[in-house]
């Protein structure tokens, strides 16, 4: 299978972002997941922050983020993220996190504090929270919802059948759908969003089933992207989708009622996130 080609030449803005996030001591998923879009995003002065450390308590087999025993929470992190948003002059920011199954609230309180700090220091900023499942805890979800992010994303990542093979055993297809449903139920004005990685062995009808399931719980924005195996020890790459196949799936997704669809081999949850939000909220 032919691999995607990425032209790389980190320039001044890329290095400025690197300096800023390293100086503040905040992690980015752009680095931790070896995101193929880092050159484009950092080169245009944006980044996706990853809070609560760079070690995840889960070990999903598609993901490059380190797994293990995580660091203690940094109580200064919410303000650091808020400062980064201010210094970068962002009007739309995606904040994601590692899973923190070791914490009683899954880190929801810290997440909420980060969203509040970002909004306090950056009036008018639009916040997208790409959250873990908090083991399905309604209380944790309420904590994040009440912090007032405009968008809550939670990824089902793959189709129902492959979920146990691809995601950590503590994750679940139904649980993820429930998370998205609960967010909408708690605040219908919040835009919800989810991503599916393609190429891990799913059939097309299963992708359509996953789309229907996401629409069934009211998800507004869908992201479809190509799985790229980060290392030989990760889940095998089974298929590279063509641009035409992405186009066909995008049309199908739109016909199912998603308000915005980002479908591209290099799309990732926070890729073109502002554009997707604008489309989803356009009257």
Partner 1 sequence: MAIVEVPRDLWPRRGDWKGKIVSIAKKPGDKVEEGEPVAEVEIEKAILVIESPVAGVVEEVLASPGDPVGPGAPLLRVSPVGEDQAQSQARQAA
Nearest distance in Å: CB 9, partner 1: 4
Closer of 54 and 185 to partner 1 (Cβ): 54
CB of residue 121 vs partner 1: minimum separation in angstroms? Answer: 24
Q: Specify the residue, 116 or 234, whose C-beta has the smaller distance to partner 1.
A: 234
Helices (H), 89-242: 108-121, 138-145, 163-166, 173-186, 204-216
Nearest of 254, 231, 233, 242 to residue 199 by alpha carbon:
242
Distance of CA 36 to the CA centre of its chain: 14
Q: Distance (Å, rounded) from C-alpha 10 to C-alpha 103?
A: 37
**Which DSSP state fits 261?**
E
Cα separation, 217 vs 207, in Å, equals 16
- Helix 108-121 vs helix 77-88: crossing angle, to nearest 10: 40
Residue (167 or 235) nearer to partner 1, CB: 235
Nearest to partner 1 of 15, 165 (CB atom): 15
Residues that bind partner 1 (CB under 8 A): 3-10, 14-15, 18, 22, 27, 30-32, 34-36, 38-39, 54, 64, 228-232, 234
Shortest Cβ 19–partner 1 spacing (Å): 9
56 phi/psi in degrees, rounded to 5: -95, 145
213 alpha carbon, distance to own chain's centre? 18
What is the per-residue DSSP string for 13-62? HHHHHHHHHHHHT-EEHHHHTT-TTHHHHHHTT---EEES-SEES---TT
Nearest-10 crossing angle of helices 12-24, 77-88 = 160
CB of 95 to partner 1, least distance (A): 18
How does DSSP classify residue 79? H
The alpha carbon dihedral of 126, 133, 59, 240 has a sign of negative
Shortest separation between residue 261's beta carbon and partner 1, angstroms: 23
Of 5 and 69, which CB lies nearer to partner 1 in the complex structure? 5
- Shortest approach of partner 1 to residue 198 CB, angstroms? 15
Closest approach of partner 1 to the CB of residue 88, in Å: 16
38 vs 147, beta carbon nearer partner 1: 38
- Closer by beta carbon to partner 1, 143 or else 226: 226
């Amino acid at each position: 299978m032919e691999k995607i080609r990425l032209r790389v030449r980190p320039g001044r803005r890329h290095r400025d972002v690197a300096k800023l996030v390293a100086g503040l001591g905040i992690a980015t998923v752009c680095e931790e997941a070896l995101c193929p879009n880092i050159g484009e995003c950092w080169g245009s002065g944006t980044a996706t922050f990853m809070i609560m450390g760079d070690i995840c308590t889960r070990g999903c087999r598609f993901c490059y983020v380190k797994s293990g025993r995580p660091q203690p929470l940094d109580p200064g992190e919410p303000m650091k993220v808020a400062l980064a948003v201010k210094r970068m002059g962002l009007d739309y920011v995606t904040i994601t996190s590692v899973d923190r199954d070791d914490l009683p609230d899954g880190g929801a309180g810290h997440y909420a504090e980060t969203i509040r700090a970002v909004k306090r220091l950056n009036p008018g900023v639009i916040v997208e929270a790409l959250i873990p499942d908090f083991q399905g805890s309604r209380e944790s979800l309420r904590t994040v919802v009440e912090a007032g992010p405009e968008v809550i994303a939670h990824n089902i990542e793959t189709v129902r059948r492959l979920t146990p093979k691809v995601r950590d055993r503590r994750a679940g297809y139904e649980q993820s759908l429930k998370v998205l449903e609960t967010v909408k139920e708690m605040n219908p004005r919040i835009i919800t969003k989810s991503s599916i990685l393609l190429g891990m062995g799913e059939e097309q009808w299963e992708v359509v089933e996953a789309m229907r399931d996401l629409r069934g719980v009211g998800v507004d924005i869908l992201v479809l992207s190509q799985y790229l195996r980060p290392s030989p020890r990760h889940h095998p790459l089974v298929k590279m989708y063509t641009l035409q196949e992405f186009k066909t799936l995008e049309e199908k997704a739109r016909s199912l009622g998603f308000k915005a669809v980002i479908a591209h081999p290099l799309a990732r949850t926070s890729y073109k996130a502002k554009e997707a939000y604008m489309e989803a909220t356009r009257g």
